[in-house]
Amino acid sequence: MRWVSFSLYYFGLVSLCAVETIAASVRPRTNFNELVDNLNLPRDLNQFTHIGSDGILRVFSTSAKVLGFVRLTNQQLGDFIDERRDILGMKEAERMRGIWGNADSSKVDESQIWHPSPELLPKVFSENDLLGVDEHDLPKDITPAPAAVVKKRSGEDRCRKYRCHYNSDCHIVNCFGCYHYEQQLGHC
């Protein structure tokens, strides 16, 4: 009887440790839409979000002006890659890990944040220059959806498959915003 009692105690202790280990390893992923929302910027369908090789998430206007920023941690950069692994593919995900692997946004000075050097600018600006796109030719602001409606928009996972230049491209398919990284086009 003593052996059964000890076995049950041991099994219970091992199970409890396993559950605690699993619970400790599960953490919420970064919500990038929420990070951008917390900047309290006016909603503009012609702006977009870009994550530079310096680990800074910047919100840009179509005229390359930085409107707001968030210093991302290595964990958040990893979350961005992990959430988009199915879109990026394994090779591109590893390339992005290489680009952001040594990023330390805490060491980026304010001047670089607000006035990024050309290599930190989104590629969409060079594409617009090549195509001769003028800011005045872009869609005008549309009255944004109320916050309650935006929160009810269906799955971010669904949205990630859409390619975009600006937030307006994502708005058309009922998604939140356009996120750029080291490519000409971003993803909703």
Compute how many other C-beta atoms are within 10 angstroms of the C-beta atom of residue 151: 11
Joined together, the tokens standing for residue 105 give 């946004």
- Which has more confidence, 59 or 127? 59
**Of the spans 1-15, 125-139, 168-182, which averages the highest pLDDT?**
168-182
99 backbone dihedrals φ, ψ, rounded to 5°: -65, -45
pLDDT > 80? residue 141: no
The whole-angstrom separation of Cα 133 and Cα 89 is 30
pLDDT at 67: 94
Residue 140 pLDDT exceeds 90: no
Backbone angles phi, psi at 114, to 5 degrees: -80, -20
Q: Distance between CA 93 and CA 88 in Å, rounded?
A: 6
Q: Cα dihedral sign for 79, 156, 177, 131?
A: positive
Strand partners, 71: 56
**pLDDT band for position 73 (50/70/90)?**
very high
Comparing 4-8, 126-130, 139-143, the range with the smallest average pLDDT is 139-143
State the alpha helices, DSSP H only, in the chain: 2-25, 32-37, 74-83, 85-100, 110-114, 123-131, 147-152, 156-159, 167-172
Q: What is the pLDDT of residue 151?
A: 43
Confidence category of residue 54, pLDDT binned at 50, 70, 90: very high
pLDDT one-digit tens code per residue, 147-184: 444 444 445 577 878 888 888 888 888 888 888 887 77
More confident call, 12 vs 86: 86
The alpha carbon dihedral of 17, 22, 23, 24 has a sign of positive
User: Coil, strand, or helix at residue 119?
Assistant: helix
More confident residue, 107 or 180: 107
pLDDT value at residue 17: 44
| pTM of full prediction above 0.85 | no
The residue ranges of every structural domain in the chain are: 29-187
- Read off the tokens for 154: 């269906």
